[in-house]
């Protein structure tokens, strides 16, 4: 039986998803028997031209991690899509934009101005900036074009499956590899296109902490109180994104007595991760007169209690949110959102 062919690529991310694939326990030993790794820039010495030479759909499965942040990310994503039978959005950055997606609160000019002019350690009297093309003595060098807007993988190519998590857990990666292997070797059916390889429930559904359905009247940062490890964090006033977040991570942060930051992204039932969480928070926030409906003053109080609303409610999902990005000048909107 021919081996399956796997490709893994690192777009705009931190590299943790690449490490996660190496960290699949004893499965890593059998991976070499089961699969040929045909393209994986951080681990295997294959070049882009090798990928370009592969027949279309000859790669069984590509695990693409990282968001789409520049022209190279997009070019390789399109090439891998063309060469792969199955395309997996691997990790929160590829699925929802992840932490890099928070850059959508600004734009590339503001980022460049800061990085190349304003940081404490920058010395750049001539205002040098990276150029897309540069003539060096050895020949012309070309750099990827940085986009204004961080995109998700499915913003640029057709995606078959989603494997969320920052990074995805060993259990979920092994589950995906099992599904693909059984399909190739035994003809087992694949899940429906678009399936998210994780639980369909919310993290709260699987959380072992006791819930008393009591309301709160202020919000604490995790270091501001001693968190009771038996009780729901939200009911202790610590923002935990469990009500709006997909289960499947093994409640790792909860077990470490830290609130969920939402890296598994929203469940199918949630249209907007942050909006849904804000609504959950509002439902347990004590109103001035104990009415269930929040008054304008109550809403203002609630919002001022949250120190960093975007970073709290959209830490992993801003490019997939209804907001998607901040648009600072309406006249410049097209330029900002198109790339």
Toward ligand SF4, which CB reaches closer, 17 or 177? 17
- 140 vs 134: CA distance, rounded Å: 6
Under rule CB under 6 A, how many of the chain's residues touch ligand SF4? 35
Distance CA 274, CA 105 (A): 15
**Interstrand relation of 59-65 and 161-163 (parallel, antiparallel or unpaired):** unpaired
> Which residues share a beta bridge with 9?
64
Of 25-33, 126-134, 238-246, 324-332, which part binds ligand SF4 (CB under 6 A)? 238-246
**Residue 174 Cβ vs ligand SF4, minimum distance, rounded to whole Å:** 17
67: how many CB neighbours lie within 10 A of its CB?
29
In the complex, minimum distance from the CB of residue 9 to ligand SF4, in angstroms, rounded to a whole number: 11
146: Cα separation from own chain's centroid? 19
- Using the rule CB under 6 A, which residue among 5, 16, 151, 244 binds ligand SF4? 16
The residue among 54 and 219 lying less far from ligand SF4, judged by its C-beta, is: 219
Tokens coding 145: 């074009």
Using only C-alpha atoms, the chain has a radius of gyration, in whole angstroms, of 22
CA dist 143 → 49, 65, 111 (Å): 17, 20, 17
DSSP structural state of residue 210: B
Nearer to ligand SF4, 147 or 184 (CB): 147
- Cβ pair 263, 316 in contact under 8 A: yes
Shortest spacing between CB 118 and ligand SF4, in angstroms: 25
What is the pattern of x (binds ligand SF4, CB under 6 A) and - over residues 93-132? Answer: x----xx---------------------------------
End-to-end alpha carbon distance in the chain: 44
Question: Please, which residue, 85 or 235, has the CB nearer to ligand SF4?
Answer: 235
Stretch that binds ligand SF4, among 37-45, 117-125, 259-267, 304-312 (CB under 6 A): 259-267
The three-state secondary structure class of 79 is: helix
Site for ligand SF4 in 136-175 (CB under 6 A): 166-167
**HSE of 182 in the Cβ direction (CA atoms, 13 Å)?**
10
Minimum separation from the CB atom of position 162 to ligand SF4 (A): 12
Burial class of 80 by CB neighbour count within 10 A (0 to 12, 13 to 18, 19+)? buried
266 binds ligand SF4 (CB under 6 A): no
Residue selected from 4, 254, 270, 277 as contacting ligand SF4 according to rule CB under 6 A? 254
Nearer to ligand SF4, 235 or 336 (CB): 235
Among 84, 245, 267, 317, binds ligand SF4 (CB under 6 A): 245
Q: How far apart are CA 109 and CA 251, in angstroms?
A: 38
Asked if residue 252 binds ligand SF4 (CB under 6 A), the reply is yes
Report 39-78 residues binding ligand SF4 (CB under 6 A).
Answer: 65-66
Residue 145, CA distances (Å) to 62, 131, 318, 331 in order: 24, 9, 21, 22
Binding ligand SF4 (rule: CB under 6 A), the pick from 91, 237, 274, 319 is: 91
Residues that bind ligand SF4 (CB under 6 A): 13-14, 16-17, 65-66, 91-93, 98-99, 166-167, 203-204, 207, 209, 211, 232-234, 240, 242-243, 245, 249, 251-254, 260-264
């Amino acid at each position: 039986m021919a081996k399956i062919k796997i490709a893994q690529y690192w777009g705009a991310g931190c590299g943790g998803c690449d490490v996660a694939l190496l960290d699949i326990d004893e499965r890593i030993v059998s991976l070499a028997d089961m699969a040929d790794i045909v393209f994986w820039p951080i681990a295997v010495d294959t070049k882009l031209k090798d990928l370009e030479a592969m027949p279309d759909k000859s790669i069984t499965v590509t695990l693409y991690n990282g968001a789409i942040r520049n022209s190279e990310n997009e070019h390789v994503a399109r090439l891998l899509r063309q060469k792969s039978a199955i395309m997996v959005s691997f990790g929160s950055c590829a699925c929802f934009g992840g932490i890099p997606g928070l850059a959508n609160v600004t734009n590339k000019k503001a980022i460049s101005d800061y990085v190349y002019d304003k940081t404490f350690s920058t010395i750049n009297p001539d205002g040098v900036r990276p150029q897309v093309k540069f003539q060096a003595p050895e020949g012309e060098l070309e750099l990827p074009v940085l986009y204004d807007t961080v995109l998700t993988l499915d913003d640029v190519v057709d995606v078959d499956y989603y494997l969320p998590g920052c990074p995805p857990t060993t259990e979920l990666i092994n589950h995906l590899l099992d599904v693909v292997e059984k399909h190739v070797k035994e003809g087992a059916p694949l899940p429906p296109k678009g399936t998210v390889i994780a639980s369909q429930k919310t993290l709260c559904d699987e959380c072992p902490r006791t819930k008393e359905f009591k309301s709160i009247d202020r919000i604490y940062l995790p270091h501001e109180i001693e968190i009771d490890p038996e009780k729901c964090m939200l009911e202790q006033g610590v923002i935990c994104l469990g009500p709006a977040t997909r289960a499947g991570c093994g409640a790792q942060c909860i077990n470490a007595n830290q609130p969920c930051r939402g890296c598994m992204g929203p469940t199918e039932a949630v249209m907007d991760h942050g909006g849904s969480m804000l609504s959950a928070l509002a439902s347990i926030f004590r109103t001035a007169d104990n009415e269930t409906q929040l008054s304008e003053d109550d809403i203002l109080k609630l919002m001022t209690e949250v120190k960093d609303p975007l970073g709290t409610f959209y830490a992993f999902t801003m490019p997939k949110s209804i907001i998607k990005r901040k648009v600072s000048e309406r006249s410049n909107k097209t330029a900002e959102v198109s790339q």
